[in-house]
Chains A and B, each alone.
Chain A
Amino acid sequence: GESVGLHLPTLSVQEGDNSIINCAYSNSASDYFIWYKQESGKGPQFIIDIRSNMDKRQGQRVTVLLNKTVKHLSLQIAATQPGDSAVYFCAELNNAGNMLTFGGGTRLMVKP
């Protein structure tokens, strides 16, 4: 497949539990953030985004929290399913508004 075996932090959860994936970003001036999911053999796929004028945004089973004070993002997945197993990346948009800088990623493993 096209995903690489990155030496990533791994979060292992039981099916049905909630998952929380954390990310620290570097640029205090960043005003747009995205969470991506990368499944084995595929490219990263958009999950949810948030702008800096918000501290929380909800999607279907996912919630992103933004704490600008400590430059921290989190992705919460409710009722985690085996299909959620993937590598999750946070990304921040640069000041010019065109380039994304990706974090190192977290591998989520869901145990049935």
Chain B
Amino acid sequence: DAGVIQSPRHEVTEMGQEVTLRCKPISGHDYLFWYRQTMMRGLELLIYFNNNVPIDDSGMPEDRFSAKMPNASFSTLKIQPSEPRDSAVYFCASSSGLAGRNEQFFGPGTRLTVL
């Protein structure tokens, strides 16, 4: 298995531009999580999906952030418009909801720099 796949690995954009981050979870996993990692706040959960349905988006910082999961093998996190304070590493993770197994598998992350 290739693991969780994220693209792009690096994104540099200018303030005000739209940014779309992409994630392909591990096949068969029914949970998908988006995290943000910054120096100041560490690793924060933004939103998670179960069976493609958003379950908890209380970690999404503002309306400028949105996430979708149109099918079991693809999710996007969009920031529109982007701001310099959105600069961070964004991780996608997936897990299987089978009882007793809660390990989340993380992707390599996307480093976002907003100038």
Question: What is A's interface to B at a CB cutoff of 8 Å?
Answer: 1-7, 32, 34, 36, 41-46, 49, 89, 93, 97-105
Contact = CB atoms under 8 A, between A and B. Distances in A.
A45 B39 CA distance: 19
B103 A2 contact: no
B105 interface: yes
A46 B105 CA distance: 7
B18 interface: no
Given A2-B109, A4-B89, A43-B108, A34 B103 contact: yes
B48 A99 contact: yes
B39 A6 contact: yes
Given A43-B93, A46-B103, A46-B105, A105 B42 contact: yes
A103 B4 CA distance: 22
A101 B93 CA distance: 14
B97 to A, nearest CB: 8
A70 B80 CA distance: 44
A49 B101 CA distance: 10
Given A6-B42, A43-B4, A89-B43, 14 more contacts: A2-B111, A4-B89, A7-B39, A32-B102, A34-B104, A42-B108, A43-B106, A43-B109, A46-B103, A46-B104, A98-B50, A98-B55, A98-B102, A101-B45
B25 interface: no
User: Is the interface on chain B under 10, 10 to 19, 20 to 34, or 35 or more residues?
Assistant: 20 to 34
A102 B31 contact: no
Most buried by A among B9, B39, B48, B102: B102
Contact of B107 (A7, A43, A46, A105): A43
A3 B42 contact: no
B106 A45 contact: yes
A101 B107 CA distance: 18
A9 to B, nearest CB: 12
Contacts of B37: 3-4
